[in-house]
């Protein structure tokens, strides 16, 4: 199985901050990398697919980059509604595997 490792596990930030979350795959996955946002009591929501393509309706402040084994999710200007947990997921091959999550908290 492909292991996905996110960092940091949590971070504290203020509204308006630029935030970056990284995800590393245990082998090359090209750009088969997706990012999800999850809020308490809700299912994960797809934000970014194929490493850098935004899902319809996702605010432009969310962007993704990377290829191979190293990927980044960037929030350009953190908004109050962005405080949540973020997960990366590889779609290179079954079994789909996820990172352990990065919790973004209010400073």
Partner 1 sequence: QVQLQQSGPGLVKPSETLSLTCAISGDSVSRNNAAWNWIRQSPSRGLEWLARTYYRSKWYNEYAVSVRSRITINLDTSKNQFSLQLYFLSPEDTALYYCVREDKARQQLDSWGQGTLVTVSS
Judged by the rule CB under 8 A, the positions of this chain that interact with partner 1 are 32, 34, 36, 43-46, 49-50, 55, 87, 89, 91, 94-98, 100-101
Q: Which residues contact 94 (CB under 8 A, 6 or more apart)?
A: none
In the complex, what is the shortest distance from the CB of residue 23 to partner 1, in angstroms, rounded to a whole number?
13
Adjacent-strand bridge partners of 86: 37, 102
Query: 83 or 96, CB closer to partner 1?
Result: 96
Q: How far apart are CA 46 and CA 16, in angstroms?
A: 22
In the complex, what is the shortest distance from the CB of residue 17 to partner 1, in angstroms, rounded to a whole number?
26
Query: 32 or 82, CB closer to partner 1?
Result: 32
Instruction: Judge residue 56's burial from the number of C-beta atoms within 10 Å of its C-beta, 0-12 exposed, 13-18 middle, 19 or more buried.
Output: exposed
In the complex, what is the shortest distance from the CB of residue 106 to partner 1, in angstroms, rounded to a whole number?
22
């Amino acid at each position: 199985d492909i292991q996905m490792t996110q960092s940091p596990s949590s971070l504290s930030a203020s509204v308006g901050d630029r935030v970056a979350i990284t995800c590393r795959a245990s082998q090359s996955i090209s750009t088969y990398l997706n990012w999800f946002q999850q809020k308490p009591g809700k299912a994960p929501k797809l934000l970014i697919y194929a490493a850098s393509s935004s899902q319809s309706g996702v605010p432009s402040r969310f962007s993704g980059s990377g290829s191979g084994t190293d990927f980044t999710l960037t929030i350009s200007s953190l908004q109050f509604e962005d405080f949540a947990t973020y997960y990366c997921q590889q779609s290179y091959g079954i079994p789909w595997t996820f990172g352990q999550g990065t919790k973004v908290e209010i400073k």
